[in-house]
Amino acid sequence: MEEKVQNREKPYKCEVCMSEFTVNGSLKRHMRIHTGEKPYKCEVCMSEFAVKGSLKSHMRIHTGEKPYECDICMSGFKQKKQLRKHMRIHTGEKLYKCDVCFSEFTETGTLNRHMRIHTGEKYYKCGVCMSEFARKEYLRRHMRIHTGEKPYKCGVCMSEFTEKGHLRNHMRIHTGEKPYKCEACLSEFTVKGHLRNHMRIHTGEKPYKCHVCMSEFRVKGSLKIHMRIHTGEKPYQCEVCLSKFAVKGNLTCHMRIHTGEKPYKCDVCFSEFTETGTLNRHMRIHTGEKPYKCHVCMSEFTEKGALNRHMRIHTGEKP
pLDDT, tens digit (0-9, with 9 covering 90-100), for 168-218: 999 999 999 999 999 999 999 999 999 999 999 999 999 999 999 999 999
Which residues is 244 bridged to in the sheet? 237
Neighbours of 238 (CB within 10 A): 14
* pLDDT tens-place string over residues 254-308: 999 999 999 999 999 999 999 999 999 999 999 999 999 999 999 999 999 999 9
Antiparallel, parallel or unpaired: β 208-209 and 188-189 = unpaired
Burial class of 142 by CB neighbour count within 10 A (0 to 12, 13 to 18, 19+): middle
CA angle (144 as vertex; 142, 146 as ends), nearest 5: 95
**Global model pTM greater than 0.75:** no
pLDDT in tens, 29-79: 999 999 999 999 999 999 999 989 889 889 988 998 999 999 999 999 988
Distances (CA, A) of 280 to 255, 270, 306: 20, 13, 16
Where do the domains of the chain lie, and which CATH numbers do they carry?
16-78 (3.30.160.60)
pLDDT at 316 (0 to 100): 87
Q: What is the pLDDT of residue 106?
A: 87
Nearest to 135 by CA among 145, 125, 127: 125
Q: What's the pLDDT at 81?
A: 87
Residues in CB range of 5: below 8 A, 6 or more apart = 11, 22
pLDDT of the residue at 5:
42
Tens of pLDDT along 124-151? 999 999 999 988 889 999 999 999 999 9
pLDDT exceeds 90 at position 89: no
Contact indicator for 275, 264 with CB cutoff of 8 Å: yes
Residue 1 pLDDT class (50, 70, 90 cuts):
very low
Asked if residue 231 has pLDDT above 80, the reply is yes
Give the confidence band of 121 by pLDDT, cuts at 50, 70, 90. Answer: confident
